[in-house]
Structure 1
Amino acid sequence: MGNNPKKNNDIPNTITKPNRSPRSTAMGAAFLMAMAAVGPGFLTQTATFTGQMGANFGFAILICIVFDIVVQMNVWRIIVVSGRKAQTIANDVFPGLGYILSALVAVGGLFFNIGNVGGAGLGLNVLFGISPENGAVIAAALALIIFVVKNALVVMDRTVQILAFVKVAILVYIIFVMSVPYGTAIQHTFAPTKIDFYSIVTIVGGTVGGYISFSGGHRLIEGGVRGEKNIKYVNEGALTGIGIASVIRVLLFLAGLSVVVAGYKLDPTNPAASIFKYAAGNFGYKFFGILLFAAGMTSILGSTFTSTSFLDYAVKSKGVSSYEKYRKYLVIGFILISTLIFYFVGNPAKVLVFVGAANGFVLPISLTILLLASGSKKIIGSYKHPKWLTYSGWAVVLFMAFASIKTILGLF
């Protein structure tokens, strides 16, 4: 319905060919997107800006959640209805544009993955006292094992889901033992006394910018969920993922705000760890180690899967076997390069905040491409994209372009 059958049949189903229901695949996509959105970068960014802005940062969280709904619903729908990956869609919008988009997403994903690997390594450092560099090597090895086993997508989905529940459980515990200023948080979230565009660009870019906005859509079509007939699974998956990510964002913000309001000053070298240490002492600090390791691992999987999916231009059937053959090497190379850079360079906290801002600049570009595609019959056939998604999508593009430019100007 509303698709080009030839194009749909040309899509390679990479890594594995699991026999799973569309709903099961959609849930896998939901957790992959949600956990990619709340990785070490989000922990660091949220703690940093909460320490700087206090309750006013709640407004940035609110904007992020609203933008998350608009971006993910647009991106997932257009990718699944067209049956093609975003880079192929971009090339159909304008020849060569897909290569530019791939470069932006893959390079941004690589830099983000340095922080992801580093975050997982720091988590193991907190838990067991090993060096962050050696912890990063262990985390990278675990990720590689998950990707190279048989039915890698299924294993990845299950791993991400388990770690998601670990994240939520830890944050609920921290909120339970803290004195949370709910009234102040609600008041400043909806009526902020200060608006910082850099924080908005960074937090939005770190949660729906760059590779993250495409992780769910690409996971769906690699799982065989394509075409207008699967819109209901797109809606279920996207809204589930947004809901999970939003709960974690709000819980972490409230935990950070509780610590800031209590008068503690967060450690700039590891602001997220400060929250848990002040909240529950050494026990809370160990909990943070588990959370950081879980966040790092889920984001390594999401970043690697999505970034390497942008290196696939084998959209013709004769190229499928070639891409199947080399994808594992792309995955291995992506993880190894990220780990080596962290091992010899380090400093993931600054990298994560900077790359979040950089991905915020990529978001208006990538969303513009897909919104243009939503009006092309050559790409989506007879499918009619909802007007509310189109209009709200353009509103996000304009706001993020404005906020990005304002952020750049503010640096000079």
Structure 2
Amino acid sequence: MKEKDSQVKKRSPLNVAMGAAFMMAMAAVGPGFLTQNATFTGKMGANFGFAILICIIVDVIVQLNIWRIIIVSGKHAQVLVNEVVPGLGYVLTGLIVFGGFVFNIGNIGGAGLGLNVLFGISPENGALIAAVCAIGLFLARNAMLVVDRTVQVLAVIKVAILVYILAVVTVPYQSAVVHTFAPTSVDFYSIVTIVGGTVGGYISFSGGHKLLEGGVKGIDNVKYVNEGALTGIGVASGIRIMLFLAGLAVVVTGVQLDPANPAATIFKVAAGNFGYKFFGLLLLAAGMTSVLGSTFTSISFLDYNKNQMGRKNWRSWMIVLFIIASTAVFYIVGNPANVLVIAGALNGLILPIALAILLVASTRKKIMGTVYRHPRWLLYTGWVVVAFMAYAGIKTLLNISL
């Protein structure tokens, strides 16, 4: 245990913040986002840029609020929620873990499909390989540092692939910019889906919890919150924009995207079989980074154990079980599409509930301390997001029930 503590101290707050930034960013652009982005680009064309713009704005408001409140208070989100509304933290934990588990089935499946594209391995066996690799990373010595470095390398791979694809296609930049800021039509469902999939559920809390794990907390470390959150948002937003532009470049030529795998169509049309292999690598990177992010954050919500001596072993076992269980479901049942839809709708409700409680916590001196004062612009815009996402989440659930 002393060895672990010394390892944590060796990492600077900025180093930890960058690890948190990339974990959050890569969790937000997983296999599900690749499909959603391609699908909506094929349906809406350049107008989909407006949905991405709204997503980025909401992302900034949500992440800066949640990261700051968690770090200044020095407590995990579920603990904060319990202090404001006793018992509600356990409900939040249940929703987060359920959503994280279901999406992890899709994440591990995405990594398996990536290996299938690259090497012809069956998606099921590819998922097994990806699961073993993920477990190995979490159980390695200096696990969090290893995970951070792995996520950062995979992020570089993602960006490099997209830069190459954009270099070999003709992107209608003018049309993209014009319709992003002045869309000719707005698809409310696409905005709800993209926002819920990129800042809903476990993703909103991954960065803040990651900072706490690295020992970064308290009012003196707020500057690292800003640097980490804005870096993560910048990386994730850059990847979202590049995916949108790559899809738009293909769609404007009149190509109809394959509904079964719209993202793969974009890469294959853009760069032939070579591009298709690149898609496999991108899918593998997206799946692995999202597996790491969803597993870490979901287990962090289950961690109410204050006994530091048994905490490390307990966490290791929970991480292994979480990954094995989600892999087993994918291997036996496949990707449960209906459950994924329901989990996505629940994510639309998790965000406004959790954010609302945290915003209340941000105004309580007993929780935040007597010195700290939460920025008014974050507080007010946070409540706007709460109202918007509550409405959106309820509407989505009603549509599913019909």
TM-score band (shorter)? over 0.9
Q: What is the distance in 2 between the residues matched to 1:351 and 1:182?
A: 37
**Is the aligned partner of 1:172 residue 2:163?**
yes
Q: What is the distance in 2 between the residues matched to 1:402 and 1:302?
A: 27
CA RMSD of aligned residues (A): 1.7
Q: SS state of the match for residue 204, structure 2? A: helix
> Greater shift after overlay, 205-214 or 350-359?
350-359
**Is the aligned partner of 1:395 residue 2:394?**
no
Query: Which residue of structure 1 lines up, in the alignment, with residue 234 of structure 2?
Result: 243
Corresponding letter in the other structure for 2:296: F
**Is the aligned partner of 1:30 residue 2:21?**
yes
TM (norm. structure 2) is: 0.95
Q: SS state of the match for residue 10, structure 2? A: coil
Q: What is the distance in 2 between the residues matched to 1:356 and 1:64?
A: 16
**Is the aligned partner of 1:345 residue 2:333?**
yes
Deviations 1:335-383 (A, max 9, x none): 0111011111223677656644432222111111111110111111121
Contact 1:80 1:226 in 2 (8 A): yes
CA deviation after TM superposition for structure 1 residue 181, in Å: 1.2
Query: Which residue of structure 1 lines up, in the alignment, with residue 11 of structure 2?
Result: 20
1:61–1:170 CA distance, 2 compared to 1 (3 A): same
| 2:251 alignment partner, one of 260, 266, 275 | 260
Contact 1:115 1:351 in 2 (8 A): no
Deviations 1:386-405 (A, max 9, x none): 00000010011111112223
Contact 1:18 1:154 in 2 (8 A): no
Give 1:316-395 correspondences, 5 Å limit.
316=306, 319-347=307-335, 355-382=343-370, 383-395=372-384
1:256–1:356 CA distance, 2 compared to 1 (3 A): farther
Q: What is the distance in 2 between the residues matched to 1:223 and 1:408?
A: 37
Query: Which residue of structure 2 lines up, in the alignment, with residue 157 of structure 1?
Result: 148
| 1:67 alignment partner, one of 58, 63, 80 | 58
CA deviation after TM superposition for structure 1 residue 210, in Å: 0.3
Q: SS state of the match for residue 225, structure 1? A: coil
Corresponding letter in the other structure for 1:145: G
Q: What is the distance in 1 between the residues matched to 2:347 and 2:34?
A: 16
Q: What is the distance in 2 between the residues matched to 1:146 and 1:165?
A: 18
> Greater shift after overlay, 242-251 or 336-345?
336-345
Deviations 1:304-362 (A, max 9, x none): 00000000112x4xx22232221111000110111011111223677656644432222
1:376–1:84 CA distance, 2 compared to 1 (3 A): same
Contact 1:140 1:336 in 2 (8 A): yes
Q: SS state of the match for residue 302, structure 2? A: coil
Q: SS state of the match for residue 51, structure 2? A: helix
Contact 1:119 1:296 in 2 (8 A): yes
Q: SS state of the match for residue 405, structure 1? A: helix
Query: Which residue of structure 1 lines up, in the alignment, with residue 207 of structure 2?
Result: 216
Q: What is the distance in 1 between the residues matched to 2:198 and 2:280?
A: 21
Corresponding letter in the other structure for 1:139: A
| 2:44 alignment partner, one of 53, 56, 64 | 53
Q: What is the distance in 2 between the residues matched to 1:18 and 1:105?
A: 29
Corresponding letter in the other structure for 1:96: G
Contact 2:209 2:300 in 1 (8 A): yes
Q: What is the distance in 2 between the residues matched to 1:169 and 1:355?
A: 31
Q: Give the unaligned 5+ runs of structure 1.
A: 1-12
Q: Give the unaligned 5+ runs of structure 2.
A: none
Query: Which residue of structure 2 lines up, in the alignment, with residue 194 of structure 1?
Result: 185
Corresponding letter in the other structure for 2:335: N
Q: What is the distance in 1 between the residues matched to 2:394 and 2:250?
A: 33
| Total equivalences in the alignment | 397
Contact 1:34 1:245 in 2 (8 A): yes
1:259–1:358 CA distance, 2 compared to 1 (3 A): farther
Q: What is the distance in 1 between the residues matched to 2:89 and 2:126?
A: 36
Corresponding letter in the other structure for 1:207: T
CA deviation after TM superposition for structure 1 residue 19, in Å: 2.0
Q: What is the distance in 2 between the residues matched to 1:359 and 1:266?
A: 27
> Greater shift after overlay, 241-250 or 368-377?
368-377
Query: Which residue of structure 2 lines up, in the alignment, with residue 95 of structure 1?
Result: 86
Corresponding letter in the other structure for 2:19: G
Corresponding letter in the other structure for 2:150: T
> What percentage of aligned pairs have identical amino acids?
68
Corresponding letter in the other structure for 2:381: S
Contact 1:269 1:349 in 2 (8 A): no
1:193–1:350 CA distance, 2 compared to 1 (3 A): farther
Corresponding letter in the other structure for 1:90: V
Deviations 1:252-299 (A, max 9, x none): 011111111111111111111111001111000000011000010001
Q: What is the distance in 2 between the residues matched to 1:321 and 1:154?
A: 21
Contact 1:101 1:366 in 2 (8 A): yes
Q: What is the distance in 1 between the residues matched to 2:396 and 2:89?
A: 26
1:172–1:355 CA distance, 2 compared to 1 (3 A): farther
